[in-house]
Amino acid sequence: MIKGFSKLSTAEKQKLILEHIGRESDQELFTLTRLGQKETEELITSFSENVISIFPFPYSIAPNFLIDGQEYLVPFVTEESSVVAAAAKSAKFWFERGGFKTEIIGNTKYGQIHIISDISFDLFNSKIEEYKDRLFAAVASINDKMIKRGGGIKTISLLDKSSQLSEYFQLNVGFNTCDAMGANYMNSCLEGIANEINSIFHNDPTLDAYILEVVMSILSNYSPENAVKIWVDTPVSELDDGRLGMDTFDFARKFVRAVEIAEVDVNRAVTHNKGMYNGIDSVALATGNDWRAIEANGHAYASKSGTYSSLSHATVKDDIFRFEAIIPMQVGTVGGVTALHPLTKLSLDILGNPSAEELMKVIAAAGLASNFAAVKALTTTGIQKGHMKMHLSNILSGLGATAQETELVKQYFSDKTISNAEVEYYLKKLRSE
């Protein structure tokens, strides 16, 4: 066991790690990714704990996203080969066919106060209604600021969960956090309301016979009422980009069938939705939003029927192809890392400093574009052809190829199937000549 690790200086932590892996002389391991700007490095390292270095990812742009008639350059942060290229290609394809259309489905996020009590639901609920003004007043100093921005607490309601867990109740609180993600605001309100409920139970003589325990108060990352609907549509005859390799109606039929498989088969659904989150997570990360919460939210929504299923759906009706999804997400464009990290601020500038709802639309478009590109590849050329073409540079870097070798290998594999083994074999052959 290591005691006091957090109290060590950065240099001391680095020294300990190098000793742990038996590479005491490799101090340059921690300087390979230095930014060269002390203030920026100090800012970024302040975001977390026990920091020993900075771990950079590629910062990319996918152009030609047309969303509700507005053109965007979309920042992506991802290490996965072909994600940005596929999304950009998909965006360009739909740009020429009217672009992405969106609709915001609500702006309510929820948090819960989780309570165990032997009180009846009817009596508990009547007390919540009786003292509701006190519950609002208990957090007025926090809530009033959000109200001035156009948001605030929207609803407070008691839910009876005792059929799932004995004596379990939830106080469900709905919030509108405007352009903020609002985690600190929501949690502060929930804790303040919970304290007031405790006070009410201790001071109302009609409740003396009952026991109440507040187990916890916490926001939920699940937000089915804070979501965006996004779709693309075009006549089936307009689906040909010159590389389908089949009739447009055959392609549309096969595409729809592939999505239907993801709707009914969990094995396919997980990978299908992962393809959507390739785009969503990349833009969320680039804009300083919590991609883990966004993804957990979506996966829960994909399971709302009781069975995990595809988030996207495809149809052909009256010779019109339509591809759509409803994606719940909680994002912010003010506060948190979005206000601190220089590249998240740059990302928002590139996007035109959007509101939270506008950012939801952009993130959803990145997701649907990525999903469309993946299903299109799967139902035409296969996923590996495009992916391995983009992955070739990574393979060559891993093999230590020179610039000249890289060019020769790329020329050789321009019309061939790419695999790690084949690339390594051909590179050895080149070097032996």
Of 89, 109, 387, 391, catalytic: 387
274 flagged as catalytic: yes
> Cβ distance 236 to 97 under 8 Å?
no
324 flagged as catalytic: no
Mean pLDDT of 222-236: 98
Reference 327, options 219, 398, 232, 226; nearest CA is 226
Of 92, 229, 254, 274, catalytic: 274
The tens digit of pLDDT for each residue in 261-303 reads 999 999 999 999 999 999 999 999 999 999 999 999 999 999 9
Same fold: 65-105+227-381 with 109-219: no
Query: Is 65-105+227-381 in CATH node 3.40.640.10?
Result: no
Q: Helical H runs in 265-415?
A: 266-286, 291-301, 342-350, 356-378, 383-398, 403-412
Of 41, 80, 263, 265, catalytic: 80
Share of the chain above pLDDT 90, in %: 76
> For residue 12, is it left (φ>0), alpha (ψ between -120 and 50) or beta?
alpha
Rounded distance, CA 423 to CA 399, Å?
9
Of 290, 295, 341, 376, catalytic: 290
pLDDT of residue 432: 77
Binning pLDDT at 50, 70 and 90, where does residue 325 land? Answer: very high
User: Mapping DSSP to helix (H, G, I), strand (E, B) and coil, where does residue 372 land?
Assistant: helix
> Cβ distance 331 to 297 under 8 Å?
no
Look at domain 109-219 and name its CATH class.
alpha beta
204 flagged as catalytic: no
The tens digit of pLDDT for each residue in 50-72 reads 998 888 899 999 999 999 999 99
> Cβ distance 119 to 200 under 8 Å?
no
Q: Where are the domains of the chain?
A: 5-45, 65-105+227-381, 109-219, 387-432
Rounded distance, CA 59 to CA 286, Å?
8
Rounded distance, CA 276 to CA 385, Å?
19
272 flagged as catalytic: no
Rounded distance, CA 408 to CA 192, Å?
66
The pTM is what? 0.88
pLDDT for residue 430 is more than 80? no
**Residue linked to tokens 């009846």:** 120
Binning pLDDT at 50, 70 and 90, where does residue 334 land? Answer: very high
Distances (CA, A) of 276 to 83, 252, 345, 371, 419: 10, 19, 24, 5, 25
Binning pLDDT at 50, 70 and 90, where does residue 143 land? Answer: very high
